[in-house]
Amino acid sequence: MESTDVGSTQILHKEIKALANEIRTLKDVKRNENLIRENVCTIEKKPLASHESQRKFEIRCPRGTRDYGPQDMALRKQVLDVVTKCFKRHGAVTIDTPVFELRDILLGKYGEEGGKLIYDLSDQGGELLSLRYDLTVPFARYLAMNKTVMYLKRYHIGKVYRRDNPSRGRFREFYQCDFDIAGSYDLMIPEAELLRIINEILSALDIGAFEIKVNHKLLLDGMFAVCGVPNKDFKAVCSSIDKLDKLPWEDVRNELCNEKHIHNDVVSKLETFVRLREHDSSLTNLDLLNWFEKDEATMKNNDIQKAIFEMKQLLEYCELFGILSTVTIEPSLARGLDYYTGAIFEVVLKEFSEKTLMENDNAEEETRSMNIGSVAGGGRYDDLVSMFLSKHKVPCVGISIGIERLFTIMKEKSKMEHVRSKDTQVLVASAQKKLLKERMKICRLLWDNDIKAEMALKANPKMLDQMQYCEEHKIPLAIIVGERELEEGVLKLRDVPSRVEQDIPRDNLVEELNRRLKHLQ
Amino acid sequence: MESTDVGSTQILHKEIKALANEIRTLKDVKRNENLIRENVCTIEKKPLASHESQRKFEIRCPRGTRDYGPQDMALRKQVLDVVTKCFKRHGAVTIDTPVFELRDILLGKYGEEGGKLIYDLSDQGGELLSLRYDLTVPFARYLAMNKTVMYLKRYHIGKVYRRDNPSRGRFREFYQCDFDIAGSYDLMIPEAELLRIINEILSALDIGAFEIKVNHKLLLDGMFAVCGVPNKDFKAVCSSIDKLDKLPWEDVRNELCNEKHIHNDVVSKLETFVRLREHDSSLTNLDLLNWFEKDEATMKNNDIQKAIFEMKQLLEYCELFGILSTVTIEPSLARGLDYYTGAIFEVVLKEFSEKTLMENDNAEEETRSMNIGSVAGGGRYDDLVSMFLSKHKVPCVGISIGIERLFTIMKEKSKMEHVRSKDTQVLVASAQKKLLKERMKICRLLWDNDIKAEMALKANPKMLDQMQYCEEHKIPLAIIVGERELEEGVLKLRDVPSRVEQDIPRDNLVEELNRRLKHLQ
């Protein structure tokens, strides 16, 4: 096994394949052992479970993943209904892509850090595959594959996968909810609609005041250039600046000077720009933009001037859309992803206390770059599609909503109200034995009439159990069948919360139920 | 690399780990090469895409997977709405589980064939993981993990993964839609509700007549015993019998005698049982069950007697639920999965021609055991949960609906009707230039009033393009802003299909739109 003398990637590939083959062979031996064991079980008519004790099964989800139970799912649906309703109000369509992609599609899209977190599938003979890391790259791949689609306003809600450290409270499988507008449109109009959408969603969810921080990739680039940051260090500096909402300036300064070896003078110049708001909290958005237009150093930089012009345009549109009060231009906002080319956004809840989030959400970190209170982030990425297909230019802007974070917040909120996990309207019960068939007939009648009904799936259920079931699941009505009622051609209808009962002629049952249910809504 | 002398699994494990480490090291070297290349690009300010030509990217989905575009998604939603509405009518809740499971959880659950099709994730250090193969095993794992949940009526719609051969027209990623009832209930009551549910769904989808074939694991076991099939060959014989709806008896006979070396006499005895319906098509369900009760050979077999008793009970309940006419007892039905313990089902469309399915569906084979026209299958599996946690007995019965097959059928059906992929009700258009801000104001007003509205995201869109957009996406109404209208305080409202236009006072806009939209529904 001497592979230290690495020549070309080809040799490496061969080497890897040989190793993989080796592993496959070894696994086959193991698999055969299992098969033999299974066959022995079959011959001896023993259930497979009999060797469970030897195997020492661990009955759990993989690290960093979890099941969603019925309550969680009901709450999730509530949130997703609000979100998708808003997307549809804006004429968006939805698409779905496979959970895994060809490995080459994902390579080199997520920077050094992100790339390490990609889940690879085993080489079981065939293609090299990886689980998707986000929904943006698959979307760009979709646009590159469907060349006739030059315009698309789409949302996508799906799971993404990151081999992050679960002990640091990060999930390895979580939902993302992306909204993107693809197409050559006019300056800042799609951006304005995007911000309008996030406004509508957060308002509808009613989770308190929020702030949309806006910056521009060209402003960042321009600032770095003006300050004298070497080109090769742009990314590194960007990722340090990005930490400013979590760390005090001194820590960021330290990182820049000592870890990233940026010159002291450069860092001091940078400080002026990124701490503008900190030093003067009275600055309006326009004040801030004007400052850059008037500052001697920045007024000559073309990138900065372009960024300022575009952001002014965006502010104007935001005013027309009635959302200006939620927007804050923030020169220190520097989202980590490499592919942004224009405006960048981050949405932060103002009122939700850090403590609540830390306590309840310590594992629901949707994106690595997401800060405490952050619920959405995005920006313009005009060159991603052409990374897949050069000369095919489809400019895009999008936002990813931290839907897991929103679930957590809504879960916290809903502690006051009960979220029903099932919609059953009527339980068909009986007080006496041997009435299974009668209950079945009534259920059939109700289902035929689109009434959400259940019955105990036992021949002779206890009355108490049936009533407890109603209360546990907040089923508002119960029909109670008894010998007397059968003889008289009636059914007892019980209002579960008040326990008030009333005889209903059997022929009027559906009508009466519909009347009551309409009332209950 | 001498590993032929295989001692224990432990040694193998160590060996595998060492190899994996080796591979990891090699990959790191390769990754560094990529990083260096990226950094060179950054320094030279070249876009990453520049080495695309060298890389020879393939822009496509992995083999056996595909994207769902907006049209597909709209149709899928239509079908899923029908299905989930029915599940909820029966008081079902839903859960969600991770896409991958610990490898041990899946091992030994899918027979020899199934096991080979499981997707493994790479060993990137940590747990050994595999993509889920179905939704049933994760459900059983969920029940074993949540010991207090002794009763659960749940549905789960999610993607499953099988490394099947795409060239044989099989997808490797596809949706499954499972409904299961877990809990100790009384004989055949949950089964009857299950069959009622599948009846409701197929009737609501309106895709023609269907037949629910029913058999019982104990009838199969009993028949095999009575015929003298050796215990060790039960599974093998079962999988041959399972092919009877695709192959003529002679082929199955050949396979049994020549490939599986079952004795000729045994196969002839078997023939009597499994071809009962073929030989006498006038047999009613009850005739058939009575036949087994009266036959000299089968009347003494306890398994068979139990199966007959249970199926008679099921038929009685099906009658009460009004679905008896769709049920056929079929002694040759033998679904492949190992874990069934009681009643088994398969639902087949009667009218959908084989040809249509073959032409349009050649890649939508949901389950390996699914036959032409088959749209659902399932059965009772009382021991699966205790395979994970011995002594924890949670009996289950479930059905898996071939939702991809249903999508295909509905897609075929919908060719006559257009399925809208977006819900937009109003396009806010302008006839002249420089009216962007006016359009924005109107959009804001409509969104504020929950009207689904869009505008062209361009400063000066062409009138023709805007009207084409309406027609392409079946947007029923358009508001047209012009200089004249602005001066007169009105807006032109256009009915897109008829092209009839009318001036509306601006103040009445929302009211008038709501009136029109109500009319349009």
Render pLDDT for A487-512 as a digit per residue (tens, 0 to 9): 999 999 999 999 999 999 999 999 99
Q: How many CA atoms lie within 13 A of B133 on its CB side?
A: 25
- C-alpha–C-alpha distance, residues B76 and B71, integer Å: 9
Mean pLDDT to the nearest integer, B325-334: 95
**Burial, B4: exposed, middle or buried (Cβ in 10 Å; 0-12, 13-18, 19+)?**
exposed
- What's the confidence (pLDDT) of residue A15? 60
- C-alpha–C-alpha distance, residues A375 and A399, integer Å: 10
- What long-range pairs does A122-127 form, CB within 8 A, spacing at least 24? A122/B119, A122/B120, A122/B121, A122/B122, A122/B123, A123/A17, A123/A20, A123/B122, A124/A24, A124/B119, A124/B120, A124/B163, A125/A24, A126/B63, A126/B163, A127/A102, A127/A103, A127/B62, A127/B63
Identify all chain A residues contacting B436, using CB atoms and an 8 Å cutoff.
Answer: 186, 189
- C-alpha–C-alpha distance, residues B502 and B513, integer Å: 12
* Element containing residue B479 per DSSP (H, E): strand B477-481
Q: Which residue from A143, A144, A142, A171 is spatially nearest to A159, judged by alpha carbons? A: A171
- Other CB atoms within 10 A of residue A170 CB: 20
Angstroms from A97 CA to nearest CA on chain B: 4
- What's the confidence (pLDDT) of residue A447? 96
Name which of A95, A173, A386 is nearest B68 (Cβ-Cβ).
A95
Chain B, nearest residue to A8 by Cα:
B30
- C-alpha–C-alpha distance, residues A471 and A461, integer Å: 16
- Type of residue numbered A176: Q
pLDDT at A283 over 90: yes
Q: What is the 3-state secondary structure (H, E, C) of A11-60?
A: HHHHHHHHHHHHHHHHHHHHHHHHHHHHHHHHHCCCCHHHHHHHHCCCCC
User: What is the per-residue pLDDT across A377-386, written as a single tens digit (0 to 9) for each?
Assistant: 999 999 999 9
Sign of CA dihedral B471, B472, B478, B480: negative
B363 to A24, A450, B82, B244: CA distances (angstroms): 29, 35, 24, 22
In DSSP notation, A96-120 reads B--SEEEHHHHTTSSHHHHHHTPPB
Angle of CA points B251, B170, B121, to nearest 5° = 120
Angstroms from A301 CA to nearest CA on chain B: 18
Mean pLDDT to the nearest integer, B266-285: 93
With beta carbons less than 8 A apart as the criterion, state whether A120 and A106 touch.
no
- Other CB atoms within 10 A of residue B84 CB: 17
What are the phi and psi torsion angles at A102 (to 5°)?
Answer: -55, 135
pLDDT at A357 over 60: no
With beta carbons less than 8 A apart as the criterion, state whether A401 and A179 touch.
yes
- What's the confidence (pLDDT) of residue B52? 42
**Burial, B127: exposed, middle or buried (Cβ in 10 Å; 0-12, 13-18, 19+)?**
middle
pLDDT at B513 over 50: yes
Q: Quick one: tokens of A492?
A: 């007892």
User: What is the per-residue pLDDT across B157-170, written as a single tens digit (0 to 9) for each?
Assistant: 999 999 988 776 67
Mean pLDDT to the nearest integer, B16-31: 59
- What's the confidence (pLDDT) of residue B366? 39
User: What is the per-residue pLDDT across B239-260, written as a single tens digit (0 to 9) for each?
Assistant: 899 888 888 999 999 999 999 9
SS3 B206: coil
Residues 6+ apart with CB under 8 A from B89: A447, A450, A451, A452, A453, B200
pLDDT at B361 over 90: no
Identify all chain B residues contacting A196, using CB atoms and an 8 Å cutoff.
Answer: 444, 447
pLDDT averaged over every residue in chain A: 87
- What's the confidence (pLDDT) of residue B515? 96
pLDDT at B6 over 80: no
Lowest mean pLDDT of A215-229, B42-56, B183-197, name the range. Answer: B42-56
- C-alpha–C-alpha distance, residues B249 and A510, integer Å: 50
A340 is in an annotated binding site: yes
Lowest mean pLDDT of A100-104, B35-39, B386-390, name the range. Answer: B35-39
Instruction: Please report the ipTM that was assigned to this predicted complex.
Output: 0.83
User: What is the per-residue pLDDT across A306-321, written as a single tens digit (0 to 9) for each?
Assistant: 999 999 999 999 999 9
Exposure string of B97-113, with b = 16+ CB inside 10 Å and e = fewer, is: bbbbbbbbbbbbbbeee
Identify all chain A residues contacting B395, using CB atoms and an 8 Å cutoff.
Answer: none
Q: Hey, are the CB atoms on A48 and B386 less than 8 Å from each other?
A: no
Q: Could you tell me the pLDDT band of residue A33, with boundaries at 50, 70 and 90?
A: low
Chain B, nearest residue to A128 by Cα:
B62
What are the phi and psi torsion angles at B375 (to 5°)?
Answer: -120, -5
- Type of residue numbered A442: I
How much of chain B, in percent, has pLDDT values that exceed 90? 70
What are the phi and psi torsion angles at A188 (to 5°)?
Answer: 70, 0
Please report where in the chains the tokens 């990124």 appear, as a residue: A274
With beta carbons less than 8 A apart as the criterion, state whether A399 and A194 touch.
yes
Q: Could you tell me the pLDDT band of residue B120, with boundaries at 50, 70 and 90?
A: very high
- What's the confidence (pLDDT) of residue A438? 96
Q: Could you tell me the pLDDT band of residue B205, with boundaries at 50, 70 and 90?
A: very high
DSSP summary character for residue A256? I
Euclidean distance between the first and final Cα of chain A, in Å? Answer: 72
Q: Could you tell me the pLDDT band of residue A45, with boundaries at 50, 70 and 90?
A: very low
Residues 6+ apart with CB under 8 A from B207: B349, B352, B406, B409, B410, B413
Lowest mean pLDDT of A292-301, A336-345, B116-125, name the range. Answer: A336-345
User: What is the per-residue pLDDT across A112-121, written as a single tens digit (0 to 9) for each?
Assistant: 778 889 999 9
Sign of CA dihedral B317, B319, B323, B329: positive
Q: Hey, are the CB atoms on B145 and A67 less than 8 Å from each other?
A: yes
pLDDT at B2 over 70: no
With beta carbons less than 8 A apart as the criterion, state whether A421 and A70 touch.
yes
Q: Hey, are the CB atoms on B93 and A73 less than 8 Å from each other?
A: yes
With beta carbons less than 8 A apart as the criterion, state whether B217 and B341 touch.
yes
Mean pLDDT to the nearest integer, A77-88: 96
With beta carbons less than 8 A apart as the criterion, state whether B382 and B177 touch.
no
- C-alpha–C-alpha distance, residues B399 and B155, integer Å: 10
* Element containing residue B491 per DSSP (H, E): strand B490-495
Beta-bridge mates of residue B100: B131
Q: In a mutagenesis test of the B interface, which of A5, A51, A54, A57 is the best target, namely the one with the most B β-carbons within 10 Å?
A: A57
- What's the confidence (pLDDT) of residue A164? 87
- Helix, strand and coil percent figures for chain B, each rounded to 5: 50, 15, 35
Angstroms from B31 CA to nearest CA on chain A: 9
- What's the confidence (pLDDT) of residue B93? 97
- What's the confidence (pLDDT) of residue A4? 41
Identify all chain A residues contacting B389, using CB atoms and an 8 Å cutoff.
Answer: 59
- What's the confidence (pLDDT) of residue B219? 96
pLDDT at A44 over 50: no
- What's the confidence (pLDDT) of residue A10? 63
Mean pLDDT to the nearest integer, A331-355: 82
pLDDT at B50 over 80: no
Interhelix angle B189-205/B302-320, rounded to 10 degrees, is 50
- C-alpha–C-alpha distance, residues B240 and B227, integer Å: 15
Identify all chain B residues contacting A187, using CB atoms and an 8 Å cutoff.
Answer: 459
Name which of B108, B127, B234 is nearest A38 (Cβ-Cβ).
B108
Q: Hey, are the CB atoms on A185 and B104 less than 8 Å from each other?
A: no
Q: Quick one: tokens of B43?
A: 């320094």
- C-alpha–C-alpha distance, residues B215 and B292, integer Å: 13
- Regarding beta strands B327-329 and B210-216, do their DSSP bridges make them parallel or antiparallel, or are they unpaired? parallel
**Burial, B34: exposed, middle or buried (Cβ in 10 Å; 0-12, 13-18, 19+)?**
middle
pLDDT at A130 over 60: yes
Identify all chain B residues contacting A108, using CB atoms and an 8 Å cutoff.
Answer: 34, 38, 48
Chain A, nearest residue to B426 by Cα:
A91
A136 is in an annotated binding site: yes
Angstroms from A278 CA to nearest CA on chain B: 31
How much of chain A, in percent, has pLDDT values that exceed 70? 84
- C-alpha–C-alpha distance, residues B61 and A97, integer Å: 8
Q: Quick one: tokens of B345?
A: 């089902």
